[in-house]
Structure 1
Amino acid sequence: MAKPVSESMAQTSTVTVPWAGRRGYFDLLLGASCVILIISNIGATKGVEFGPLPFELPLIGSTIVTDGGFFLFPLAYVIGDLLSEVYGFKRARRAIVASFGSAAFAALCFLLIVHLPAASFYTGQEAFASVLGPVWQIFTGSLLGYLFGQTLNAWVMVAMKKASKGRFLWLRMIVSTLVGELLDTVIFCSIAAPVLGIDTVEAFINYVLIGYIYKCLVEVILMPISYPIIGWFKRHELEYVA
């Protein structure tokens, strides 16, 4: 005797898709990008000088001039390359704008906090203002540099991906970083240099060259790590744009 249709349907096994309910990694990478940008901008309010070196460098001299965010900010471009390669230009641009907005909001908050009337018992107002007071200028330079530099970086990365049909990832990462970081560094240093007390042509050239060369070197040095990480995201990200 045939079973009722309803009973047959009730006994039908349900197929569970392994990745059902799992979201992609875009939000996690976006959060990391925002955090890196905000922290590096705060660190950039401190001028840093290494030297004197035991030798002279062309156009740079015997001292290396940079800022406190130098070791962190290059990671923003590593994440930017990952976003461009895995999610495409549109979503990478969305992440850039979101990071820009979060950092701008942080700068406005710091500006407001600095100008709030200090309590009579609070003795750290001068120190607080000296650290976070210039942040809005640093943020302005950083945000403009980041917005234009990262957008150019993402565009070059995706354009080269289409032209090479997805090949030569290492070359695309290097070229996009060289182009994007150049625009980013020039814009940022032009605005941040006066805030950090860099008031000579020699010191400014030092600041720009050291920042640019260092950021590009970080990209190259981290490539043995970032290359397989990008490959992992391509294999596991449901939203991967080939």
Structure 2
Amino acid sequence: MKSALLHVLMPFCACLALASTGLFDRVLVDMNYDHYAEKTVDYLPCYLAMPFNSLINLGYIGIGIYWILQRTDSKRDPEAKYVKDVFALMAIAYGPVQWVRLATLRRVPAVLDQWFTLPMFAWVPVWCHFIEHGWRPRYAIAMEMCAIFSYGLALVHDQGFEVVLVIHIIFAAIKGVGVQRNHGDFRSLRYMVLALLSCSGFVVLKLLDHNLAQYRPFKHFTGHFWSKVCDILQFHYSFCFLTHLSSIAQKRTE
């Protein structure tokens, strides 16, 4: 657990330090409430100005804690626990970053909100690689470094982040399909489909946030809120998919 925590904290602190230097002052990020369809509540404190979009971030913390507490046979396969815990800690760290972004509307948390998304998607291929080939630290480090440095494209073009994010999503999906084909069963297939549907919901609902707000069901619980629900479900079903496949692959090698 300590090594997994260090694994997450080191790049977290490095990204925070870089974002605080002004290096990303030219990156296009939204820093006002007009970007969101949910109406602000003036009498609430800043950290609850948009109560539903703020409180949903507790879901990331909750899902991360839940999966950290899920036991694996660490004596038999400590690497499996390590890979799981890193992903869970990423989820725990991501929730507060989004919450601070909404509470402060400042550039640094807005940049970090975008930036941290990339290593999280990159960890899915790392886990898939672990299932098929065992733990390869060099591969994991290379994937994370590529994810972190790829955010530099946001400095080159206004839609640079969106382009990189789409690439990461597609690559994670391809790796997931590949490991399912080689090691999966019907149960893992169901988890994979649910994870992909949740990912689609995350993207589509976020893009349609303002368009959906004209309909009564999305007045308070807006598209952005439901996109975060889908994102949390995406985490959960990705955990279900990858932990189940890890168990299958491990039994085949015994």
User: TM-score of the superposition, structure 2-length normalised?
Assistant: 0.32
Of Structure 1 and Structure 2, which has the larger fraction of its residues in helix?
Answer: 2
Flag the structure with larger Rg: 1
